[in-house]
Amino acid sequence: MEKIVALLTIENIGIVVFGIFTFCLLIQLGYFLFRFIQLALYKEKPAEKNQPPVSVIICARNEFENLKTYLSQVLEQDYPEYQVIVVNDCSWDESEKYLEELEEKYKHLKVVTLAEQERYQHGKKFALAIGIKSAAYEHLLLTDADCYPESNQWIKQMMSGYQQGSQIVIGYGAYIKQKGIINTWIRFDTAFNAMQYFSFAIARRPYMGVGRNLSYTQSLFFKNKGFASHQHILSGDDDLFINETANRSNAEVCLSAGSFTYSQPKTNFNDWFKQKKRHVSASKLYKSKHKFALGLFFTTHVFLYFSLITLLIIKFKIVWVASAYGLRLVTQLFIFGKCLQKLKETDLIWLIPVYDFMIAIVYPLIALSNLFVKNKTWK
């Protein structure tokens, strides 16, 4: 016992923690320099000239106000041949009447209405699958009812992302810039996750996309038997499908001007936390290689800060620790800054040090919360 107590000196604890800090720092630098750099230095590929017919699919449940505000921007795209399918999923607001009126005005709008069934409670995946089965065209483009495209070139730009042999194009679904800390936090978190899935996809390791701005082919959907393998969970209609079907040769990214979509963000932390929990809950079904890669990055991220704080408290090799963290910070600011420029989120660059630290606190809380509370919402 005395030997154990003797080993637990500040010096020995500092050596162990410094080792953990150094290991985490090196792993983090590796992700910055070999993964995130992919997006930071990315140059858009020459656009393909073909413009295939497209079916845009939107699922909506009680989205009357959003449909009234945003749907016209999808219906009035500058594109030669496309249809817009709105799946009115058991809405009890004014959506049905409004969509019927729009069908009279826009001949390329198709409304599919689903009725509530007492014996069968379905989620968004069922509605989306119905929309895909109703699509007239091979190329599908997905977005949400609370989203609007950046420009009337949205469809054209997303379709230009298709290269020979590709079946998936991953776009960026951003959130509208508003005042307040919650807005900057949500936008930073969205951009932070986009940096990951874009960088991995550019490196030919695609693992997810977001349903606010995502395209794939109808044949890919049917070949994969839709969402059959993860139909039992509510979330994952976008990221789990891409995780299951994307590979080195069939997935592309689109970051062209006019290709982004924007949607209304949550306005308080609690609502965002619940939404984030749903998104994170699907990641447990990712392929093992993706879970390992993402898990290693986030684990070292968290332990880097915990070890950093510990070393500062015990005042262990302060100069070395500060210099090492400074190297990481400078590298991160440069690479993340370039990434945020690509995502048109430049106002967030100065917040990188603060929100990077917050991620190390909030993300573990989300993971712990998912262990005890189940998600029960449609989206």
Average pLDDT over residues 168-179: 96
Provide mean pLDDT across the span 3-10.
56
At a CB cut-off of 8 Å and minimum separation 6, what does 57 contact?
85, 87, 128, 131, 132, 135, 140, 141, 142, 143
Using pLDDT thresholds of 50, 70 and 90, give the confidence band for residue 6.
Answer: very low
Instruction: Read off the pLDDT band of 378 (50, 70, 90).
Output: very low
272 contacts: CB under 8 Å, gap ≥ 6 = 182, 185, 186, 189, 265, 266
Residue 379: closest CA among 66, 96, 45, 37: 66
**pLDDT tens sequence across 19-38:** 999 999 999 999 999 999 99
Q: Is 323 exposed, middle or buried (0-12, 13-18, 19+ CB in 10 A)?
A: exposed
- Cα–Cα separations (whole angstroms), residue 367 to 193, 243, 277, 295, 372: 16, 20, 8, 11, 9
pLDDT digits (tens, 9 = 90+) for 256-280: 989 999 999 999 999 999 889 888 8
Residue 179 identity: K
Residue 310 pLDDT: 94
Q: What is the pLDDT of residue 231?
A: 81
**pLDDT score at 377:** 54
Cβ–Cβ under 8 Å, residues 21 and 304? yes
> Over 70: is that where the pLDDT of 5 sits?
no
pLDDT digits (tens, 9 = 90+) for 130-156: 999 999 999 999 999 999 999 999 999
Spatial strand order in the sheet of 139-144: 109-114, 82-89, 54-60, 139-144, 214-217, 168-170, 251-253
The number of beta carbons lying within 10 Å of the beta carbon of residue 172 is 25
Q: What is the pLDDT of residues 285-324, one digit of tens each?
A: 999 999 999 999 999 999 999 999 999 999 888 999 999 9
Integer Cα distance of 195 and 189 in angstroms: 10
What confidence tens digit (pLDDT) does each residue in 99-118 have? 999 999 999 999 998 877 65
Q: Report the C-alpha gap between 158 and 205 in whole angstroms.
A: 20
Q: What percent of the chain has pLDDT over 70?
A: 94
Domains of the chain: 16-42+289-372 (no CATH), 54-268 (3.90.550.10)
Cα–Cα distance, 328 to 301 (Å, whole number)? 11
